[in-house]
Structure 1
């Protein structure tokens, strides 16, 4: 019998909800002897907010890449302690588009994502990356509520 999960994707942005998702994904990867893929998507699509799109895009990418490197190093540290195989990747673009693309291109069996628990007007204005990924991907998505996971 083959394992249910061979490749687990955990997108992270360094937030507490993402950290909760990393903990759950790491536990699952350890349990199923799966490879854990940690993905940081630098949201360069925010560059539409100004006239100087190239400058903003470059600045977002530079700052985002530095943050991504730091966040993924933290994931690498906890993963090494657990003895789980890890693949890390930094991409740019819209997270709700890049996460499903990465999952499809890398044969991901499960996506584990944190949720911020936004409701009401805040949810309507900002939406939910997790919600959009659930709609766009063809693989199961586990949504981890940081408040309920501890």
Structure 2
């Protein structure tokens, strides 16, 4: 099996950070693979009028940058090629969709993220991705 693209969902959690570390090590082992960082956010509040809608969009983008910036730095220092996607919607759905559209060979994700407490042992996003994704998933504790 040849790994070319590894999707890593990031949400600012320690678990996601550990997943990124594993992805970097795996990329170094296999050679010319790249990482696809995916961050998902809640839908934009479409009922707001201007200028409030634009302010909400700007806040969401600033939050995404705050979460992705440390990942960019870590990947840059490691010399690992990467792309990134900031997606609107349910994380499990968008992660699965991105893996399919981007033809990812693997997803490496944390067992629990920064979302509300919904799963008992395994995060609900991770649980849903495991059952809906088109590729193998490595879950990092």
TM-score by length of 2: 0.81
Rate the CA distance shift 1:63–1:109 in 2: closer, same or farther, 3 A: same
Gaps of 5+ in 1: 48-52, 146-150
Aligned to 2:38: 39
Aligned to 1:80: 76
Q: Distance in 2 between matches of 1:60 and 1:116?
A: 27
Aligned to 2:63: 67
Rate the CA distance shift 1:61–1:133 in 2: closer, same or farther, 3 A: farther
Q: How many residues align?
A: 131
- Paired residue secondary structure (2:60): helix
Q: Distance in 1 between matches of 2:127 and 2:60?
A: 22
Rate the CA distance shift 1:78–1:93 in 2: closer, same or farther, 3 A: same
Q: Distance in 2 between matches of 1:109 and 1:81?
A: 23
Matches within 5 A, 1:99-114: 99-114=95-110
Q: CA deviation at 1:96?
A: 0.9
Q: CA deviation at 1:28?
A: 1.0
Q: Cα RMSD over matched residues?
A: 2.4
Matches within 5 A, 1:128-139: 128-139=124-135
Q: Distance in 2 between matches of 1:72 and 1:24?
A: 17
Gaps of 5+ in 2: none
Q: Distance in 1 between matches of 2:58 and 2:127?
A: 27
Q: CA deviation at 1:69?
A: 1.0
Q: Higher helix proportion, which one? A: 1
**Preserved CA contact (<8 Å) 1:61 1:92:** no
Rate the CA distance shift 1:109–1:60 in 2: closer, same or farther, 3 A: farther
Please point out which of 27, 47, 58 is paired with 1:54.
Answer: 47
Rate the CA distance shift 1:92–1:82 in 2: closer, same or farther, 3 A: same
TM-score by length of 1: 0.77
Rate the CA distance shift 1:122–1:93 in 2: closer, same or farther, 3 A: closer
Q: Distance in 2 between matches of 1:84 and 1:127?
A: 28
